[in-house]
Every structure is written in C-alpha cells, then in structure tokens.
Structure 1
Amino acid sequence: MKMKTKLIFMGTPDFSATVLKGLLADESYDILAVVTQPDRAVGRKKEIKMTSVKEVAVAHDIAVYQPEKLSGSEELEIIMSLGADGIVTAAFGQFLPTKLLDSVDFAVNVHASLLPKYRGGAPIHYAIINGEKEAGVTIMEMVKEMDAGDMVAKASTAILDEDNVGSLFEKLAVIGRDLLLETLPGYISGEIKPEPQNHEEATFSPNISPEEERLDWNKSAREVFNHIRGMYPWPVAHTLLDGNRFKIYEAELTDGEGTPGQIIEKTKKSLVVATGSGAIALKTVQPAGKPRMAVTDFLNGVGRQLEVGDSFGQ
C-alpha cells in the first residue's frame, strides 16, 4: 500500500479553501494540520468570523493553528514537530521562517499570477486594474524572498470584461487546485524539474492601499472601468460627491465625452459620467451613510437632486 504524503496546509481565504478541499479529496495526501490567519471581526456588527480555510479544517476535524505571526511563535515549534513531508500554501498572508522551510522535504505555494509578474498579495487586483488580457496560477517553490522561488507549473485563463476580482478569484482557485493535484506527484517524485524565474522581469502587486481605491476620472473610460472591476467586491473603488465618499461597485463602458468626472447623462434609470476619454454608466453604488444600491434606486432617492453638469471627484 502506497504511503500517503503528509502535508501541512497554510492558507486563509476562499481561494485557499478550494485548494485545501482538493487535497482532502485526494487519497494521496494526509493533511496533518492547517495554519491560517487569526479570526477577525467583520461587518458592521464586528462579529468574529472564522477564515474560510479554518471552516474547512474544522469540518474535517483537522488541527488548526492561527498565530498572529508564525515566526518565533509557540505554534511554529508544534508545527515543526508534526513530522510533515511537505508544506502547501495558498494565499496564506505570511512569510514562512527559513527553519520551517528547512524542516520539510518540500514547500510549494499556489500563487494567483503568471510569475514573475505580480509577486505579492494582490495579483488578481492588479491584473484587472492594469488591463491584462490573461491571468493565471503558478505553482512555485517557497523561498525566503516573496514569490521568488523556482516555478513547478503554470496555467492561465483569459480575463473577460465581465470578470472582477471575485469571479477571477473563483476561476483561479479551481485552476490552481487542479494544477496542484496534477503536478504535485511528479514534483515530489522528481520527474518535474522546477524552472528558475527571470527576476529581471518581476513585477509586484502589494496589498491595495486606501489611496489606491480612489478613482481618477482623468484616466480613460477603459482604465476607470478596469479600476472599478479590480476593486470589486473588495475593497471597492470610491470617488467623492459633495465632499463625501461615494462608492462605485459596478459600472459599464458607454459612449459619451465631457469634462472628466462630470455627469453627462441622467435619466430615471441611468447615470453616465465622463472620463478623460469616453464615459462609464454607473450600475451599483453606495452614497455616504447609505447602503449599497442599484443606480436606479439611487436616482429615485438621494440622487434625485443631481443634474447633468454636476461632477464627481470634487
């Protein structure tokens, strides 16, 4: 009977949970423990919520460790004593200490970009914002430097206009899961030889800062459209209206020209805003102090006073 490969899995969001479920369904692997970020307070009620990976682990009665910082923690010593053959990470959100990497035969990461492009914590956001035609997943060896390890395998998919961060995360999670399960046996056996990255071609995608959520109406309609999609469903793009934050969840490209940020068309059902080149029609918005709503509801309510010629961003 073939011995199972003993793994420690590290990850946090839905993307990671999809990968973990794939490993759990494969009889080749024994998940000894899961390491995930600490539970956080979410929403207006600040309710403590388990991470997606923890939910999967608890459902399968797997030990869970949640150090605020893995390096130097008590949990690190416990994890290293478990006798794992290897580590698999996917959107974990922390660096792995060198002594942990040295304690196992292998450590690979499922990273949601086509490396060496978009190393860092927000590769899907930046791929959409920057207007990339495709996104993908790279299985790579873990090293101390962020996302700089040798590449085991890659797979890609087209980025469509209807895609946003949420939909692309779901697509890439499945692609990453399947790619990992397809290539991990060959990697462990030595049949698949990892390839070094070209570090000179590396680009970076750090976590989105609050300043980057702000829309720049001077950019083209396509760039503004991509920015909105690249912030949806989190952290959500915003602009200003009468000096107050105004969130824009969804929009679509449309025809029209005018001063950037200016309303150039308003009906009971549509609100069209000019950009530096072209225009966008708002679809789902959230005025300051109000819930998220369809633009038709906004125009029938607090947005009734808006007129053509009024401007966002001021």
Structure 2
Amino acid sequence: MKKVIFMGTPAFSRTVLQGLIDSQAYEIMAVVTQPDRPVGRKRVITPSPVKELAQAYGIPVLQPEKLAGSDQAKTIIEMKPDLIITAAFGQFLPKSILNAPKYGAINVHASLLPKYRGGAPIHYAIWKGEKETGISLIYMTPKMDAGNILAQASLPILDRDDVADVFAKMADLGRDLLLKTLPSVFAGTNQAWPQNEAEATFSPNISKEEEEIQWNQTAIEIDRHVRAFRPFPSTFTRLKGQRFKIWAGRPITGDFPQGQVGQIVASTEDQLIVQAGQNTYFAIEEVQPNGKKRMPVKQYLNGMADHELVNQVFEMSSGHEG
C-alpha cells in the first residue's frame, strides 16, 4: 500500500480526501491543513473541513502557520511518503518537501491549466464569463501551478451557477480524476505533458477592493461578479454611506427610466431595478443591509415606501476600476 500525505483546507479538499480514504488503496500517513481560524460574525475558532474529516478517521493532523522552515516540514520529510497530494492547501511547498516523496508531489488544481493559475481559479472563471472550467492534475514545482500536467477533465459553467455550485461539482470531478490517474503514477506509465507558458493566465486571491460592485459595468458583468463571489467572499455596494451587500440579482430588460449608473430607477414587489453601464439594467433580488441579516428584496421592502429607495444612487469608491 502506497503511503500518502494529503494537504488541503476547505470543503473542496475534504471531498478529495474522502475519496482517497474510501478507496482504501492508500495509507494516509498524515493530513496537513491550515491552522484553526475564526469564522462567522462571532469569530468562533473553527477547524478546517479537512481537519474535521482527518480527526474522524484518526489520521494525524499537522497545522503549520507557515510550512517552510517549520518543525512540521521536518516531520513530513522524516515520514518518507511515497507521494504528497495537495488540493487547495493555501501555502507554497518548499523544495525540501517537493523533493521528499519517491513519486513527487501532485496538485489537484481547479482550472484548465495554464489558464487561471493561483488561488481563486473558480471565482475568476465565473467572473470572466468562461463557459467551462475543469480540473488539472499537475506535478508540483517551485513555480506556482506551472508543473507538467498528468490529466485534465472539463466541466461546463451553467448560466446561473455561483462559486458554491461550481466548487461542489469541481470537488467531485477532482476526486474522480485523481483516483483514476493515481494508478498510472505509481506504475510509471503516466504521460505528463508541459504547459504552454504563452497561454498562462492568473487568478490571484480576491482583494477586499474587488468585492465592490462597479455599476458602470454592464448588467451581465455585474451578474457574473455577484455569482462569482457568492457565497464567499460576497459583493457589496454603498447606500447612503453604508455597506450594502448584494447577494443575488440578474440582468433585466424592460421599459425603465434611464438614470445615472448605480441609480435605483424602479422597484417591483421583489426587485430593485438599477441602472448599469451601457444602458443596461440589473435587478437586485437579495440583499443584506449594514448590520442586518441576508434577506430577499421583498422582505427588505416591507414597510418601506417606494420613494425611500427609487432614485437613490448606490455609491462607488472613487478611483476604483471595475
């Protein structure tokens, strides 16, 4: 039985790890995951989904704040694994660890490389309007997501998919592709191929500034932005100087008044119609006012007269490009 060390953190990683455990073909020597972090409005210290799964099966867990140069790195090397598998781990692996396993280190990456290298490939694929994404299994190298590709599988992005939808489907796809490919890795028969560097694009971790909706974009672009950031990290705008989260909406056509970008030009029982760029309209359907819970627009509008919102303008930070 081949000895594997698994490194991962979110629910995506948990699905991949569960597949390895269920296969009963590999000995999971240890799981390496990010330290417990505060979660939610109450900032409760919470273990990662991968840690919870590992503990349920009695698998040893290592949680270095920074892997390079740590005691945990020495422990991993001393374990002499046959293979290291990473899936959304969230840290770079030092050369000493990459060189430790007999069969190398493999990453389950959530894009069709060389497109969208980096930490937010699923977010970017939706945000940029891709019609498909997929999983790439690659040999890890010191350069981010640049190693030779062992296998790929594609997945369509549906019109109303958000990042949670695609994450769930991609986790299943990554698990299945990994389990299908591993036998050829250990047998030495896998025909990995190099990436085309000229076609490489990047998906860096999402910044706080990028969460803000830019109303001068078209309604289609705003819709992609909202879905790409739902449920995490979410999108927001500003109303009367207060943060105002937008959880759901869609492009809409109709005979609406024309206003300035970001202006609420009309409302219905369950939608706020906002002027977007290039004479398009975006219908907001679910919101979260500052200090309140997420709610449908219908609930938000209860007890509020139309004139309190119609013609109000959502503000944008000056100088921020969408």
TM-score (norm. length: structure 2): 0.94
Q: Does 1:297 align with 2:299?
A: yes
Structure 2 Cα separation of the partners of residues 155 and 70 of structure 1:
30
Question: 1:268·1:300 contact (CA, 8 Å) conserved in 2?
Answer: no
* Structure 1 position 193, deviation (Å): 1.2
* Structure 1 position 103, deviation (Å): 1.1
Matches within 5 A, 1:44-83: 44-83=41-80
Aligned match of 1:262: 263
Secondary structure of the residue aligned to 2:72 is helix
Letter in 1 for 2:300: F
Aligned match of 1:40: 37
What root-mean-square deviation, in Å, do the aligned CA atoms of Structure 1 and Structure 2 show?
Answer: 1.3
Size of the aligned set, in residue pairs, is 311
Change (3 A) 1:280 1:287: same
Aligned match of 1:313: 315
Secondary structure of the residue aligned to 2:250 is strand
Aligned match of 2:93: 96
Structure 2 Cα separation of the partners of residues 246 and 301 of structure 1:
18
Aligned match of 2:142: 144
Moved over 6 A (4+): none
Can you list the C-alpha shifts for 1:60-113, whole angstroms capped at 9, x where unaligned? 000000000000101111111112101000000001110111111221000000
Which of 87, 111, 114 pairs up with 1:113? Answer: 111
Letter in 1 for 2:299: D
Question: 1:41·1:47 contact (CA, 8 Å) conserved in 2?
Answer: yes
Can you list the C-alpha shifts for 1:181-221, whole angstroms capped at 9, x where unaligned? 01111122121111000111111101000110011111111
Secondary structure of the residue aligned to 2:221 is helix
Secondary structure of the residue aligned to 2:277 is coil
Letter in 1 for 2:105: A
Question: 1:237·1:248 contact (CA, 8 Å) conserved in 2?
Answer: yes
Aligned match of 2:277: 276
TM-score (norm. length: structure 1): 0.96
Which of 163, 177, 180 pairs up with 1:179? Answer: 177
Letter in 1 for 2:147: G
Matches within 5 A, 1:119-198: 119-198=117-196
Change (3 A) 1:303 1:293: farther
Which of 2, 15, 21 pairs up with 1:18? Answer: 15
Structure 2 Cα separation of the partners of residues 176 and 255 of structure 1:
38
Question: 2:116·2:202 contact (CA, 8 Å) conserved in 1?
Answer: yes
Letter in 2 for 1:281: A
* Structure 1 position 267, deviation (Å): 2.5
Secondary structure of the residue aligned to 1:140 is strand
Aligned match of 1:84: 81
Q: Which piece of structure 1 moves more, 259-268 or 278-287? A: 259-268
Question: 2:267·2:306 contact (CA, 8 Å) conserved in 1?
Answer: no
Which of 186, 198, 201 pairs up with 1:200? Answer: 198
Question: 1:298·1:304 contact (CA, 8 Å) conserved in 2?
Answer: no
* Structure 1 position 304, deviation (Å): 5.6
Structure 1 Cα separation of the partners of residues 132 and 267 of structure 2:
34
* Structure 1 position 306, deviation (Å): 2.9
Structure 2 Cα separation of the partners of residues 135 and 250 of structure 1:
22
Percent identity for Structure 1 against Structure 2: 51
Structure 2 Cα separation of the partners of residues 84 and 279 of structure 1:
55
